[in-house]
Amino acid sequence: MNHSIVVEKFGIRLRPVRLSDAGFIVNLRNSPHALCFVGDSAKTEAAQKDWLNNYFSRSGDYYFIIELARNCQNVGTTGIYDIREGTGESGRWIILPGISAAPASTWLTLHVSFNILGLDVVRGTIVESNKNVTSMHKKLGMRFTGGCESRIIARQSVNLLEYRIARAEWPLISANLARYALLAEKFLQGMDRLFTQTNNCTSAASGKTWRARCRSV
């Protein structure tokens, strides 16, 4: 769906997916840390653009890029789709390794679902072996339904656990998510300061500024 929703909080922004994001999405969905937990994905940028062109004309489907608010760096994706009779599915949630954007992007996705789209229920599925994500959802108070579906992902049979969040449950989950999101935002700010300091060190021997080679968050 060619939507225009942009939301930002806790140092993280969700913005609509663009056709120019195809390359980023292909790399993200086919990366080693994501392959075992997401469904079938396009393998080339051209194929992903074809998928996106179909998506832009599809109603009830909101696909987002997750960005760092401070520099607009793409760090992941998320989405809300299959919206019918007040219920939507949350998914396509993938974040680059080492980026503390999980709590904020989850909060923003649910904020869009309940407060902007006006949904009554948000459902989702998680691969049972994805222990980090299932653990996070349980800590936040999300309710697993007990439903279990088998699917083939990356040529392996996996079990999908279903969770549901009702509108009445959102205030408590929102408060729990906000606490984690604030901590993650402080971590990102600390990493940003460290990166800035490291890249502007002054060599005592030469008295000249040098730029260290380090990885940006």
Residue 92 CA to its chain's centroid (Å):
7
DSSP 8-state assignment for residue 202 = B
Q: Is residue 205 part of a domain?
A: no
Q: Is residue 11 part of a domain?
A: yes
Contact 75, 99 (CB under 8 A): yes
Which alpha helices (H) appear in 57-163, and where do they start and end?
Answer: 102-111, 131-139
Rg, Å, the chain Cα set = 19
Quick: pLDDT tens for 56-72: 999 999 999 999 999 99
pLDDT of the residue at 206: 41
Coil, strand or helix at 204: coil
Q: Is residue 193 part of a domain?
A: no
Helix (H) or strand (E) holding 147: strand 143-153
pLDDT of the residue at 208: 40
Q: Is residue 122 part of a domain?
A: yes
Residue 135 belongs to domain spanning:
7-186
Quick: pLDDT tens for 167-205: 999 999 999 999 999 999 998 887 666 555 555 554 344
What is the Cα–Cα distance from 101 to 191, expressed in whole angstroms? 13
- Residue owning tokens 């700010």: 189
Q: Is residue 209 part of a domain?
A: no
Q: Is residue 104 part of a domain?
A: yes
Q: Is residue 195 part of a domain?
A: no
**What total of structural domains would you count in the chain?**
1
Q: Is residue 93 part of a domain?
A: yes
What is the Cα–Cα distance from 214 to 191, expressed in whole angstroms? 11
Contact 113, 161 (CB under 8 A): no
Which is more confidently placed, 33 or 113? 113
State the pTM of this model. 0.84
176: domain CATH number is 3.40.630.30
